[in-house]
Structure 1
Amino acid sequence: MSTIYRSEAGGRRIMQRYREQLSAWPVPAEHLRLDTRQGETFALASGHLDAPPVLLLHGSGANSSTWREDIASWSRSFRVFAVDMVGEPGLSAPSRPRLDTEDVSLWLDDVLDGLGLAATALIGMSLGGWSALDYTLRRPERVARLALLCPGGIGRQTTGRVALTAALSLFGQSGRRRSAARMTGLDPNDPVVDEILATFSTFLPRTERLPIFDDAALAGIRVPVLALVGDRDLMFDSADTATRLERALPTARVHVLSGVGHAILGQTDTILEFLQEP
């Protein structure tokens, strides 16, 4: 645990808060622990056993609580598996597979095998979006359709704006709150900002840049793709993401959300409609 947290005590506080969120999960869910080459991976399974599968991958600095506002809707029609990414503040192992290798896809092979899935729809946010896209490119036969929210790996990673916003954190608690709000695009008083502040007070996130997928790779995707990006995202250049996807993959549905930052919430119905299309 200490490899991804500033202290063991801080890690325990995050885990306790997460377990409290899981105990208040809005629908019945199985708690699954899967053996993978990256260590134990935790997943929540909700919905009918014989419903079409959907696998969810959250972003960096988060866990499967990301999906708590979506899960009740999606699990009425699908068997939904919310997976805690390894190396993030969830209940999976603290290992961090290298992003410039096949390691993430090999880990997801183990996850799908452990869940008994030959193929699945994928929904990924930010780092989870990068991971879902990487898997789609490497394992096209195992992905039925792909929904991406503020995905990495397509548009430029905007480190300059991030550094400027992060500088606000030097000005005490109010500065940290303003920094988190600007980074996510959320109102400073949004309870999600409180969660982010609590997590990043002790969690040590990945610092490497996400590898960028080239146009030829994107053009080779043969499954339906939905991409949702915010025009005020400070992490990734959303205009670049939209332009590259529309150019390389004209069949993709790309929505640039006005006034939205990196935290893309409240898209439950849009994604459900995409998942239900024939």
Structure 2
Amino acid sequence: MEISRFKSEKIHQKFLTFYDEAMKKLPVPQEIFDIDTTYGTVRVYRFGNRGGIPILLFPGRAASTPMWEPNMAGLLKTYDVYSMDLLGEPGMSTQTKPIKDNEQQAVWVEDVLRELQLTKVHLVGVSFGGWSAVNYAVYYQKYIASIILLDPALVFAPFSLKIILFSLITILPFVPESWRKKSMSWISGGAQVDPQDSTARLISIGLKDFLIKTPPPKQFTTEQLNSIQAPILVIFAGKSIVHDSAKALAYAKSLSNPIEAEIWPAASHAINGEFPNEINERIGTFLSGINSQKK
């Protein structure tokens, strides 16, 4: 198996320019870590210095830490926040060894948390980041205080035909650039995406010019999902093209572990950027409820 990488060093340098520009929109991190793991070096940022159980952010597919800009300032009013660029995805993390299966996808996350020396952490993942957070929880649960999932991909429902078409449009080399731009709007519920926005450009480059060589994600079994002991909040987007949100909601509510699940009808798959204040408030309510139950 190969290693995930940019198609050329020229593309990589272009990506880094946009990345630096996008990171300037975020609060200045308190610390920056480059953590050596079993499968590569993982970039982690720590924001805030409040203490208590922090939040760890998992970005979506072909995204990285800058995608959390709409949520970051609000979350930092209450919590310390860690954010990492996923290994095998475009960002500041560098894969050095092939990742062959889901369990190995979880191993490097465990390596990161062990190195950070966090006793407990709240996992927050959007889209594929939600899948990554759940995948980690299937294999390791020692450090997990709770899990918050924003329209997670391939966790509670299979992919829709629409998202498969979207994936093809974004990666096939002969597809016109105008189609790619329209597809980005499509996944965002029809909202126009600013082509000059540095974060949007990061995702565009990641989708088109980064070769992901990690195994394709697989939907979890009921047994795997029920094995997770941590409290879970999942918010499905009513306008999501990733899956059938109504069926995903019904399945999530049928599981035996403690899950709070709901649909936000007006939201698209870009839910964290569309409703940042509402998302932050809902996260706060959920985590406050967990804390009150422990008292």
Q: Which runs of 5+ in 2 are unaligned?
A: none
Equivalent of residue 187 in structure 2, options 166, 176, 183 = 183
The normalised TM-score by structure 2 is 0.83
Q: How many residue pairs get matched? A: 278
Which structure's relative contact order is higher, taking Cα pairs within 8 Å and 6+ residues apart?
A: 2
Distance in 2, matches of 1:13 and 1:174, equals: 20
Instruction: Indicate how the Cα distance of structure 1 residues 90 and 96 shifts in structure 2: closer, same or farther if over 3 A, else same.
Output: farther
1:270 Cα deviation from its structure 2 partner: 1.5
Equivalent of residue 214 in structure 1, options 209, 215, 221 = 221
Aligned to 1:68: 69
Alignment of 1:56-135 (within 5 A): 56-95=57-96, 98=99, 100-135=101-136
Determine if contact 1:181/1:193 at 8 Å carries over to the other structure: no
Deviations 1:216-258 (A, max 9, x none): 2323332221101112222233223211110014741112121
1:193 Cα deviation from its structure 2 partner: 4.7
- 1:118 aligns to what SS in structure 2? coil
**Amino acid in structure 2 at the alignment position of 1:66:** M
Determine if contact 1:231/1:261 at 8 Å carries over to the other structure: yes
Distance in 2, matches of 1:180 and 1:187, equals: 9
**Amino acid in structure 2 at the alignment position of 1:218:** L
Alignment of 1:196-211 (within 5 A): 196-205=203-212, 209-211=216-218
Distance in 1, matches of 2:67 and 2:271, equals: 10
Aligned to 2:266: 259
**Amino acid in structure 1 at the alignment position of 2:286:** F
**CA RMSD, 1 decimal:** 2.7
% identical aligned pairs: 26
Q: Which runs of 5+ in 1 are unaligned?
A: none
Aligned to 1:51: 52
Aligned to 2:284: 272
Deviates more, 1:254-263 or 1:108-117: 254-263
Aligned to 1:241: 248
Deviations 1:96-124 (A, max 9, x none): 86473411221111100111113211111
Determine if contact 2:155/2:219 at 8 Å carries over to the other structure: yes
The normalised TM-score by structure 1 is 0.87
1:62 Cα deviation from its structure 2 partner: 0.4
1:207 Cα deviation from its structure 2 partner: 8.1
